[in-house]
């Protein structure tokens, strides 16, 4: 019997990425405290939260593969959250201009029936161009990336902010590393294509 896939997320970005694989799935909203623990590294944080999101939904089901994911953006050792406001987005991008920023995306797949767990953390580095505040403000006003870690949408106009991108899967920047997900799904018996 084929496994039901459940994305433990209400993110429209993650949903759109998972749709690329052409597999039927449903979305479920995990209720997870996303605050970091004292002394927790970015990698440990996203791994813990990806597992927590998948596990919350897995405990509500008797079968299915539950996909959990979480992402943070790190600049000079500091985790940058979602900006929430236009001014915060401009400030974040001003702080990252001319610098390299690493995104860490935690990914976890839990089999609700067997409790089998596979997970990974996918890094992806963005090298920002040096831009003026007025150029950054024009970008933010045009795209309004207020719900995006790092204050940009690489799938949109965000590409104008970068000198280079470095990593194995640009989908990780949007919040769901599909190459890694395909690997984890294969460990659970789902072969693509």
**Residue numbers annotated as active site:** 70
Listed residue (140, 129, 136) closest to 94, CA to CA? 136
Residue the block writes with tokens 């089998």: 116
C-alpha triplet 168, 169, 173: angle, nearest 5°: 125
Q: Is the peptide bond before 180 cis (omega within 30 degrees of 0)?
A: no
Is residue 151 within 8 Å of residue 93, measured between CB atoms?
yes
């Amino acid at each position: 019997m084929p496994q039901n896939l459940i994305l433990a997320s209400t993110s429209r970005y993650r949903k759109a990425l998972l749709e690329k694989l052409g597999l039927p799935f449903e979305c479920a909203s995990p209720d997870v405290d996303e605050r970091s623990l004292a002394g927790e590294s970015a990698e440990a944080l996203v791994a813990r939260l990806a597992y927590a999101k998948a596990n919350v939904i897995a405990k509500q089901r008797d079968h299915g593969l539950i996909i959990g994911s979480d992402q943070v953006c790190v600049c000079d050792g500091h985790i940058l959250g979602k900006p929430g406001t236009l001014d915060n987005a401009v400030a974040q991008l001003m702080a990252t201009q001319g610098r390299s920023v690493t995104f860490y995306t935690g990914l976890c797949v839990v089999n609700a029936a067997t409790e089998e767990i596979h997970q990974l953390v996918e890094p992806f580095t963005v090298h920002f161009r040096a831009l003026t505040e007025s150029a950054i403000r024009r970008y933010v006003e045009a795209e309004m990336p207020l719900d995006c870690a790092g204050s940009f949408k690489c799938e949109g106009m965000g590409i104008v902010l970068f000198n280079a991108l470095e990593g194995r899967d640009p989908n990780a920047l949007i919040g769901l590393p599909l190459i890694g997900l395909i690997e984890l799904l294969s460990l659970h018996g789902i072969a693509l294509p």
